Amino acid sequence: MQLADMSTIDCSPYNVHNINTAIDVVVTATSIILACSGETYRAEDTALRIGKAFGIEKTEILAFPTGFMVSFILEDGRIITRSIRVSERSLRLSRINEVNSISRAIVDNKLTANQALEMLKELQSRQDEKPLISCLSCALCASAFAVMFGGGVKEFLISFIAGFSMQTFICFLHYMHTPSLIISIFSPAVSATVALTLIRIFGGDQVSIIAGAIMPLLPGVAMTNAMRDTMRGDLVSGIARGAEAFFNAVLIAIGVSIVLAIF
The string of pLDDT tens digits covering residues 29-70 is 999 999 998 888 899 999 999 999 998 888 999 998 889 999
Across the strands, what pairs with 85?
Answer: 67
Element (H, E) at 77: none
- Cα–Cα dist 86/144, whole Å: 33
Torsion over CA: 107, 113, 114, 117 (sign): positive
Provide the pLDDT confidence category of residue 1 given band limits of 50, 70 and 90: very low
Residue range 172-228, pLDDT digits in tens = 988 888 887 888 889 999 999 999 999 999 988 999 999 999 999 988 888 888 888
Provide the pLDDT confidence category of residue 104 given band limits of 50, 70 and 90: very high
Secondary structure E strands in the chain: 58-64, 67-73, 79-85
Provide the pLDDT confidence category of residue 72 given band limits of 50, 70 and 90: very high
45 Cβ contact partners less than 8 Å away, ≥ 6 residues apart: none
Q: Output 255 or 17, whichever has higher pLDDT.
A: 255
108 Cβ contact partners less than 8 Å away, ≥ 6 residues apart: 6
Residue range 106-164, pLDDT digits in tens = 999 898 889 999 999 999 888 777 888 889 999 999 999 999 999 899 999 999 999 99
**CB atoms inside a 10 Å sphere around CB 96:** 21
pTM attached to this predicted model? 0.79
- Is 100 exposed, middle or buried, given 0-12, 13-18 or 19+ CB atoms closer than 10 A? middle
Specify the pLDDT at position 9: 41
The DSSP code sequence of 198-211 is HHHHH---HHHHHH
- Is 2 exposed, middle or buried, given 0-12, 13-18 or 19+ CB atoms closer than 10 A? exposed
